[in-house]
Amino acid sequence: MNASSHHHRVRLNRQRNSNPILQIDRIDKTANRWKNADVLVFNTGHWWTHGKTARGKNYYKEGETLYPQFDSTEAYRRALKTWARWIDKNMDPARSVVFYRGYSTAHFRGGDWDSGGSCNGETEPTFKGAIIDSYPLKMRIVEEAIGRMRFPVRLLNVTKLTNFRRDGHPSVYGKAGDKKVSKRKQDCSHWCLPGVPDAWNELIYASLVLEPNPIAWTNR
């Protein structure tokens, strides 16, 4: 079962248009469905670098306070604490296995691939460049949060694994087969399928095989 811990609300502005709000101190309202799951996989990452999320203007809410401006990294840290508290309080390690899957470093900024540029036409992984040794601050925050938890969350750290794969992005190609969707717009935050995400699933499978939770699955 894949799960997202973000709790979104939609508010209407004066023009009656919807403005989303992220409540960093509340867990998603569907969370009760998670409690009886054998395996839960949580993840978040690039979502926190997108437009309104990164700018943080009138977007983050904590309690009854809607912050006019709030740092996205600090919001991420507090949201993870909210998630961690919920897991510790509600999940039983004798019954369930919980993964937190990390994410790959965003690289599209214009220029050479490893400094953030295009990745169309790439047919092989890269083994050198700035991105290979980069490690996002948000991944360090994840490690710290999990390290303080009672529940033994399994961190699926795919960051460096995915940094090699400049050849695995949709790039300028989309759903239209070999037809280029755009000559300029590069999609370097998603992955082609089959491809990199399949390796993530294989790692989850390997973890379950090598470190099974027999108490959870033999007492059914």
Q: Are 7 and 26 in contact (CB under 8 A)?
A: yes
pLDDT (0 to 100) of residue 178: 55
Residue type at 152? P
Q: What is the model's pLDDT at position 112? A: 53
Query: What one-character-per-residue DSSP string does 110-121 give?
Result: SSSGGGT---TT
* Three-state DSSP state, 28: coil
Residue 50 is predicted with a pLDDT of 72
How much is the pLDDT for 198? 95
C-alpha closest to that of 52 among 36, 26, 75, 34: 75
Q: Which of 167, 175, 174, 197 is nearest to 107 (CA)?
A: 167
Burial 55-87 (b: 16+ CB within 10 A, else e): ebebbbbbeeeeeeebebeebbbebbbbbbebb
The alpha carbon of residue 71 and the mean position of all alpha carbons in its chain are separated, in whole angstroms, by 18
Map out the domains of the chain with their CATH numbers. Answer: 2-213 (3.40.50)
Query: How many residues comprise the chain?
Result: 220
Structure-token pair, residue 130: 């700035």
- Which portions of the chain are predicted below pLDDT 50? 10, 12-13, 15-16, 109-111, 113-114, 220
